[in-house]
Amino acid sequence: MRTTVIEVGPRDGLQNEDRALPVDERIELIARSVDAGLTRIEAVSFVHPKRVPQMAGAEEVMAGVPRRAGVSYIGLVLNRRGLERALAAGVDEVNAVVVASDTFCMRNQGVTTARAMDAFDAVAAEARDAGVRCSVTIAASFGCPFEGETPPERVAEIARRAHAAGADEIALADTIGVGVPAQVRDLTRRARAAAPGTPLRFHFHNTRNTGYANALAAVDEGVTALDASTGGFGGCPFAPAATGNIATEDLLYALHRSGVTTGADMDAVAATGAWLGERLGKPAPALLGRAGGFG
């Protein structure tokens, strides 16, 4: 079985860090990821820099990334203005975010979940007209820091609307790291029923040390796309106490030892995690960044 690991470190990994990396170092992070064999990379975010200053300079980053056959760069967009910037910058894919709880959605995007879905309808239509792949991430699919448990029926309804809007892929995100494998299995089946034929991917954080078990549960359900962040850096500036994403190198270790192929070089990713920790002035949370392991 083959699984694609989507590298989200250049966006989700950096957006919550105290130090904002300069454009040249963000480009180097992306180039290192490409050299390590990662082929789908969430490179930039087109949110307003006043809201997330760590993501300023998206156009400059995209102008400097290596362009290689088979490598796809993803830009995060929240609305049509973000989509216009992303298309002009030359992204290969756009990913929109819809938060499954109204309270969190208001804090993250300034609109309710329903309004965020209305915005996605427009983004998906324009992206399709431009010939650019468009995915949607359903944030807080497993739980919300403000409202508690997220009803799975609500996640399924958002997936249904995303499917109707023409989403090329639906990502279910455990934004605050509260999920367990039983939820992964349940949400996978509900999302597939609500959005038949639309590929799923998952986005896990490791707040309670369940992120890697959740990733393997998704693979057992036949999911072939997983987000991860080199070094295990990450978090959401609008979610209290949000911790980092599952680490790309540690996810690769778990997948490779389980007989899943990815095409990525775990040791090269671990070296990049150590390099990134030096740039950020803090050690990488990833286990392989500290202790090594079997390849």
Active site residues: 236
Burial class (CB in 10 A: 0-12, 13-18, 19+), 50: exposed
Query: Could you tell me if residue 148 is left (phi over 0), alpha (psi between -120 and 50 degrees) or otherwise beta?
Result: left
Q: Are strands 4-7 and 169-174 parallel, antiparallel or unpaired?
A: unpaired
Rounded to whole angstroms, how far apart are CA atoms 295 and 280?
26
Quote the tokens at residue 10: 């250049």
Beta strands in 89-232 (DSSP E): 93-99, 133-139, 143-144, 148-149, 169-174, 200-204, 225-228
* Contact (Cβ atoms closer than 8 angstroms) between residue 86 and residue 73: no
Using DSSP, state whether 268 is helix, strand or coil.
helix
Q: What are phi and psi of 225, to 5 degrees?
A: -140, 125
Quote the tokens at residue 273: 């995690």
Whose tokens are 């309270």? That residue is 103
Instruction: Kindly report the number of other CB atoms within 10 A of residue 110's CB atom.
Output: 12
Quote the tokens at residue 194: 């609500």
